Every structure is written in structure tokens, then in C-alpha cells.
Structure 1
Amino acid sequence: MTSKPTPSMPLPSIPLTSLLSLTSSIDSLHVPSSGLDKSMKLLGYTCSLLSNILHIEGVGCPPDLPKGLQSVGDEMSIARYATRLCTGIPSTINALRTNSWAWGDLDVEKEIDDEERGVYPYTNKAPHAVDLVEKSLPWSMAFYYPLEHLAYAGWNMKGLIWDSSSTGKGGNRDEGRWWKANTISAVSCWAWLWYIVGDIVVQAERIYRIGAILKKLEGAQSKESVRVKLLSAMRTHKVMLAREVLFLLPGVHWSRLDWAENPWMKKWQVDMLMWMEAVVGWGNEIAIKYGY
């Protein structure tokens, strides 16, 4: 007598909508991390910058203080890497799905005189080319975060990634050159540099367009509420532009494949620019939160 075969259990299928819903939920769960990241960045680069200053000859301080400050700065940097393991990819997927990183239209064309309404720069929308640049920004982060996570893993798990084309004598893997996490980090920064340059284009165009509209509405008392709204938007975009400009040179520095072995910029220069960006970003976060 033959026994009936046991039916195999079908593997559960997870619909794409459920995965997208999950990433959206994770993203909303970690929304406060944006402010936390800015605070950690400010603390970290403040410590690193102070360490550089105290290393200057003739500055009297306890001999271990500069080293201790740099250690705190390095720990803050690694902590931010670890935090982004939970926030980076979900926020990017959510942005791609909902277009939540886009600034949207200005909604001011109705305030412009009939003969110039809809004529650039007196328009609600950016030019098509700039719009495409803005839509590409989440895609840059879709490349950046996985590579950054891989570099982070490589720094912490030595030998995780190995370049098989670089074995040692006799093909001994232990004598070979392990793929450097620094190299993977540099490649990730190509995507970050794409974001920086793209956002500079987006912010500069928006500042130009808002400035032109403000000039057009100048002196019209009936348009004062619109002008106040546009002035507030102008301040926001100037802050965003300033941050990206401060990011630009460090972005180029870290995008070089040999950034660790043959640095393009001195450490204090990178720390100074990143500290300035951290001050601007953190100050803007406080201004938004408390309505300054």
C-alpha cells in the first residue's frame, strides 16, 4: 500500500504593496531622526574641529584632550552611519513612491498680471530640465545608502569583501588585497555628489524664480500676504543652497578613490566646512521647530 505524498506547503507571497507600506511605516517611525542626525553631526564636527585647533603648536591643553575630542568626533560619525542603517533606505523608497522630497509648485501665477502670467520666471513650475533633476535626487540616494551600508559593514567586519583578482603570492587569499571599504565609501559618495550638485541646481533656480516674482509684486499692498509667504520660502531655499555649497568640496574630497591614502583636502578644512554646514542645518531645524 502506497502512502499519499504529503502536500508541500506553499511559500507565503508578500505583495509589493505590503512592502511599500512597510517602508512607509518604518520611515514615519524614524522621522525625528533627521533632527537627531543634525545634532549628532554638530557635536561630532565640533569635537573634531576643536581637536584640530588644540593640535596647533603653542596651544596649552592637557596632552590627551585633542585625542579624546577626536575620538568623540569619530564615534559620532560611526553612530550616524549606524543610525542610517535604519532610516536611509526606507526614507528613500518612500520618497520615490510618494515624491515627498519634491518642493512642489509655487501657486502664484494668479497673482501675476495677465500679460506675463505663465511666462518664465513668473510661473508656478520650474523648467522641465530642472524638474527632471529634482526627480532624480531620490534615485541618487537609492544608490548611496546601500553602498554606504556595505562600506560600514566592511569597516566593521574585516575581510567581508575580497577582490579575487588581487591574491598574494601563490594565490594565498590571506596575502591578497581585501577590497577596501574606503573604496566602496568613495563610490557611494559619487551618488552623494550627484545629489549635492542636483540640489544646488534646484535651489538656485527656485531662488531665482521666487526673487523675480517678489520683484514683480513689489509695492502691491494687496499682495502682501503672498510676498510674506514667498519671502519665507526664499529664506528656506537660501539655507538649503548654503548647506549644499558647504557640502560640495567635502563631497569631491570623499569621492576620490584614494581619499584616505592621498587626501585632496586637509582634515581641518573638511572638518571646518562640515562644521559650518552642521551649524546652518541645526540652526534651521531650531528655527522651523520654534517658528523663528
Structure 2
Amino acid sequence: MPPRQRRAAADGGNGSSVTPDLVRVDSEDSKEPANEGEAPTTKSTSVSDKITPAPSPLLDSLLGTYGKFSGNTFTADQGLKIIQWSSWAISYATANSHKHGLSPGLRKLYGEISMTRYVLRFYGFLQSLEGYRSGSWAGGQWNDGRIAKLAKYAMAGSMLAYYPLEHIAYAGWKCPELVRVDANKFSAISCVFWTTYIAGDFAVSFLKWKELGKKARAMRDDLMRAKRTDDKQAVIDILEKENELRGKLRHVKLQMLRCMLFILPSINWSLPNWATDPLLDELHLNGLMLGEAYVSVYQSLRSMLG
């Protein structure tokens, strides 16, 4: 498989960004008094009254979500994944189409976006270093101490090795006369660390699932007691916490699904001969990546929208 058709790699985490809200400035109506001795006239209307569209809460909500999604490195990369793997899927499906330029054009787009996503990974090393030093990749405080350790060493630690190796591979492909390395070899080594990250991510998500499940069962018992004592405020509070807990459970389940979709491609790209004798054929390899791309965007949007 040529390098330009190789995968775009893992998401590093679930970071969030804060973007400033757009503040709408409303111009005041011009209020000119009627001249004395003349017939009364209607209130004059400013230009802004004529051209300012009516507020659209749905559009504002859509734009706000788009701003948050596109303003974060990880979620912006997820959007590119959708375009990348969807372009491949349509190209693959239309390979025998009578529109001769459609499939080759989309395949070229798929390859270009794959290389573009390598550039975004230049942000990854310092983000991984921050996660390693602060423990932020654990995603909060957990009773099970293994979660923090796995997030630090298996996830953030593996990415500290992954990103530099990816940079070397990218430079070897794009600047072979300046960076004289076996880019495919460095890419394979980087994917060994990516596979380690995926295994750690799956283990962390599974442990979170178990811990959240225990909390959910305890919360159901609390809810039954509150209902028996007719404590309406307690019932309301517990239901709110239960809804928040369901969102966390959904998130970790989707994360485990993403890991399962990732694991075979990561093993495939970790093999020394991945470019000449791949473990998976194109349909199964890229099909798994396509599925993961859509799951990742769904997961991020659900987290943003609640």
C-alpha cells in the first residue's frame, strides 16, 4: 500500500477548547422628530432594521457547536477523518463507474487529506507531555488507581514515542533527499506505540465502565429509597445525577467501540511489511477506519450537546 494511502492515526484524547462568543451589536433606530407644521409621519426605519435577519436559535446553536468542534485540534482531526475515509469509500464504490474521473479524483483527495492529518500531529507531542505530567488523560478522579496509571504510562507515555516517529516517517516520505530514512519502517515502529495506546485506552475505558456501573446501581437504590420516603427534591437531584452518569457510560462504551475498530488496522500498520504485504486487504482495513471515523464524531457531538 503506498504511503499516501496509509492511515491517519489515533486521537490523543478528549480535550476541549473554549472559544469566545460572538457578540451581536444592535444599532439603535434613528428617531427623527417630525417637522413642525407638517403632517405626522411614520417612524423612520434604519438600514439595519431592514437587513438584519430574524434571530435563528437553531442556526446559532449549529454555529456554536461547529465553532467548538472546529476550534479543537482533536475534533477538527475527526472531521477530516470523515472526509478522508468517506472519499475513499465513494472512490472504492465507484471504481467501475462510467464517470471515469470520479473514483480517481476522490482517491487522490483521500490521499491528500491523509497527508494533511500528519501535519496536525505536530501538536501531539506537547499535548502528550502535558497529559503525562499532569495525569489529565485519566479524565478526572477515579477510585480505581489503575485508571490513572494506565492513562499516564500506557496512553500518554506511548504517544510521547509515537509522535516523533510519525514526524520522521512524514519527513522521509515528503523530503526523501533531506531525510534519508526508511519512512515505512519508522511508520511501523510508531504504530507499535499506537497499538500500545489503543490497548491502554480500552483497558482504561473498561475500568471506567465497571466503576460507573457500580455508581449507577447504587444510585438506583438511592432513588428507590427517596421515592419510598416521598422526598421529591432528593428524587430530582438523583435523576439529574443519573442522567449525567448515563452520558459518561455512553462515552466510555463508544470509546471501547472505537478501540475495537482501531486495533486490527493498528496491528496491520505495525508489521514490518505493511506497505508491501499487508495483513488486511483494502476493503476491510479502510472499512474499519471509516466506521471509527463516524463513531468518533458521534461521540464528540454527543459530549458537546449533552
Q: Same fold by TM-score, threshold 0.5 exceeded? A: yes
* CA shift for structure 1 position 257: 0.9
Q: Which residue of 2 aligns with 1:39?
A: 79
**Of residues 181, 184, 199 in structure 2, which corresponds to 1:182?**
184
The residue that corresponds to 1:191 in the other structure is 193
Separation of aligned partners in 2, 1:61 and 1:290 = 42
Q: Which of 125, 129, 132 does residue 143 from structure 2 map onto?
A: 125
Task: Report the equivalent of 2:93.
Answer: 53
**Within 1, Cα distance between the matches of 2:162 and 2:270?**
12
Equivalent residue for 1:263, pick from 278, 285, 301 = 278
1:200 corresponds to which letter in structure 2? F
Task: Verify: 1:74 aligned to 2:111, yes or no.
Answer: yes
Counterpart secondary structure, 1:260: coil
**What residue ranges of structure 1 are gaps of 5+ in the alignment?**
1-26, 106-123, 163-178
CA RMSD of aligned residues (A): 2.1
Instruction: Check 1:145–1:71 CA distance in 2 against 1; reply closer, same or farther (3 A cut).
Output: same
Q: Please say if 1:146 is aligned against 2:183.
A: no
Offset from partner CA, 1:12-54 (integer Å, 9 cap, x none): xxxxxxxxxxxxxxx9999622221111111000001111122
The one of 144, 155, 158 equivalent to 2:176 is 158
Q: Distance in 2 between matches of 1:91 and 1:131?
A: 17
| In the alignment, structure 1 residue 285 sits paired with structure 2 residue 306 | no
Aligned-partner SS, 1:158: coil
> 1:184: Cα distance to partner?
0.4
User: Within 5 A, what are the aligned runs for 1:206-225?
Assistant: 206-221=208-223, 222=234, 223-225=238-240
Q: Distance in 2 between matches of 1:220 and 1:99?
A: 32
Identity across aligned pairs (percent)?
Answer: 28
Match runs of 1:76-115 below 5 Å? 76-85=113-122, 87-105=123-141
How does the TM-score come out when normalised to structure 1?
Answer: 0.72
2:219 touches 2:242 (CA, 8 Å); kept in 1? yes
Deviation at 1:229, TM superposition (A): 2.3
Deviation at 1:100, TM superposition (A): 1.8
- Taking structure 1 as reference, are residues 142 and 28 closer, same or farther at Cα in structure 2, changes over 3 Å only? farther
Distance in 2 separating the partners of 1:248 and 1:219:
37
For 2:272 and 2:165, how far apart are their aligned partners in 1? Answer: 14
Which has the higher mean CA deviation after the structures are superposed, 136-145 or 276-285?
276-285
Match of 2:202 in 1: 200
Question: Quick one: distance in 1 between partners of 2:86 and 2:211?
Answer: 36
Residue 71 of structure 1 and its aligned partner are, at CA, apart by: 0.5
Counterpart of 2:137 in 1: which secondary structure? coil
